[in-house]
Chain A
């Protein structure tokens, strides 16, 4: 068995203790360098932009393509020495994956940051110019700032031995109370309300559109009703009891025949013979489309919707 000490990640530049000055300095430097690179890209001559982005995309895609297609080393360990060039590439792909993964996490995090920056730029601009419906923009900006402040304050107040437990036992501490009020009290409920509104639209749309206008619509409506009935446990149980009383229970040919009329079996038949195959076909079509589009993006053939 491999000793545990070998399995713990090695100390790296970024493994300084959480909250330490060194880690903060590293984060600030990395942030500044990252921001400089992002803004630096904006000053690249237009002619060079496409080749740079295309090359980065191609290299990124090539790495993951190789990861899937190149022979994978089984039970690879870092101490092993490759015997040939195939193994050299394979070992390199495996050993570099955690680094690439971490890089991707940081890059995606940076993209989230860019999104936030862009959102703020647009909405602060609207407030400054008293654009139509600017109060909504102001609400967004204030909510974002307040939530960030309280979220971070709450997190800081829970650092240290026993701090999290103390906060849980005394929820009236200001930053914890503020965060709970904003997140659990407001945001979470607003989120639930937004989603539940869909039910009203579905209800109204179903009333207006589910009409028996043709044979096709009758089939669709009939199937929908059967599936909806099968979702209602009491109907499902009651229906099947009636079928059982009519000879559907037990064994033998009558029971087998009557068993076809159990609601669960009807639903399964619809599900297995119509719903699943049709969705599978759609998914295959989608997958081929995604593959084609991915290839176009990877090879830099895709020109974008505007061109």
Chain B
């Protein structure tokens, strides 16, 4: 009979370098879930310092006159609800409070429109149950949904050339249930050319920017809302002035929520009290801190844990090196 093989004793350095994958996964799961529950239960608000590109986005969005129309080009699915979902909620809350009308469509994935509809329904529910209750945002009167365009780049090329013809075949039901051209709706009635739109907002984890900027970027201000992983690529478009604002993933969504709460005063300070009309007013008393802020604490905990594990691995490597010398 074979003698039982004795397992070699691992040194501390080796142990620190070889933490099992399952243990790492479990730690991450516990930390993220725990911090998410804590953040929600205790309404933990992590402070933020809005960046210039987020402030630019807020300034532009906050100063769109009532009744004007913007475009929301969504690529948001629930895969990116932690980033683009939060951004979409913030934008929709702002648009509804400012009574800005919007056109919504996608050329990324057909499901994006369904996801956006759910977000709109949730915010409408929030408005109905608020104190005092706010009027619902209604399809046709306040927004129109153009659906899914399988070939986005060509559609955008056509929009830049003649928006009336590009979306001319799109129909929506009016409040009586009759199908009419979207250009008869209050949302698009005044839109003759793409230049009449006040902003174009791609909210997507995918990189739509080269297509959007090349086709409509010179005619309408574009504000990009993206997942954090795409930020470095998109930052170049902001630096070159092709983007008028940029919202960077979850951090950007939280910054947007903070700006909605605090506003930008006449001196350009967030939450300041400088005399004179503010550059971008806040929304006092409204629900500004929302899903983004709820997720942010968990995000910070996850990053801290990531850095700790990297430190643990490196300490282990150094101990092992010293032992082998």
A272–B77 CA distance with the chains assembled, in angstroms: 31
Is A191's CB under 8 angstroms from B79's CB?
Answer: yes
Interface-located stretch among B62-70, B168-176, B278-286: B168-176
Is B313's CB under 8 angstroms from A207's CB?
Answer: yes
Chain B residues near A17 (CB-CB < 8 A): 179
A204–B181 CA distance with the chains assembled, in angstroms: 53
Interface of A is mostly: helix
Interface-located stretch among B5-13, B88-96, B158-166, B259-267: B158-166
A111–B318 CA distance with the chains assembled, in angstroms: 56
B30 at the interface (CB under 8 A from A): no
Is B169's CB under 8 angstroms from A233's CB?
Answer: no
Q: Give the total of A residues in contact with B, Cβ under 8 Å.
A: 70
- Provided the pairs A207-B24, A233-B46 are in contact, do residues A164 and B173 lie with their beta carbons within 8 angstroms? yes
- Provided the pairs A14-B169, A112-B150, A211-B313 are in contact, do residues A228 and B48 lie with their beta carbons within 8 angstroms? no
A63–B306 CA distance with the chains assembled, in angstroms: 51
A74–B310 CA distance with the chains assembled, in angstroms: 58
Interface of B is mostly: helix
A101–B164 CA distance with the chains assembled, in angstroms: 13
Instruction: Please pick, from A162, A188, A204, the residue contacting B25 in the complex, using a CB distance under 8 A.
Output: A204
A47 at the interface (CB under 8 A from B): no
Chain A residues near B102 (CB-CB < 8 A): none
Is A15's CB under 8 angstroms from B169's CB?
Answer: yes
- The smallest C-beta distance from A28 to any residue of chain B, in angstroms, reads 19
What does the 1/0 interface line of B14-31 toward A look like (CB < 8 Å)?
A: 000001010011001100
Is B151's CB under 8 angstroms from A105's CB?
Answer: yes
Query: 8 Å CB contacts to B: which residues of A196-217?
Result: 196, 199-200, 203-204, 206-208, 210-213
B194 at the interface (CB under 8 A from A): no
Chain B residue at smallest Cβ distance from A158: B173
Is B47's CB under 8 angstroms from A108's CB?
Answer: no
Q: Interface of A with B (CB < 8 Å)?
A: 2, 4, 7-9, 14-15, 17-18, 64, 67, 94, 97-98, 100-102, 104-105, 107-109, 111-112, 160-164, 168, 183-184, 187-189, 191-192, 194-196, 199-200, 203-204, 206-208, 210-213, 221, 225, 228, 231-237, 240, 264, 271-272, 275-276, 279-280, 283
> Could you give 23 example pairs across A and B, Cβ below 8 Å?
A7-B192, A9-B164, A9-B168, A9-B169, A15-B169, A97-B158, A100-B154, A101-B157, A104-B154, A187-B111, A191-B79, A200-B29, A206-B306, A206-B310, A207-B310, A211-B317, A228-B307, A231-B228, A231-B251, A234-B46, A237-B48, A271-B232, A276-B235
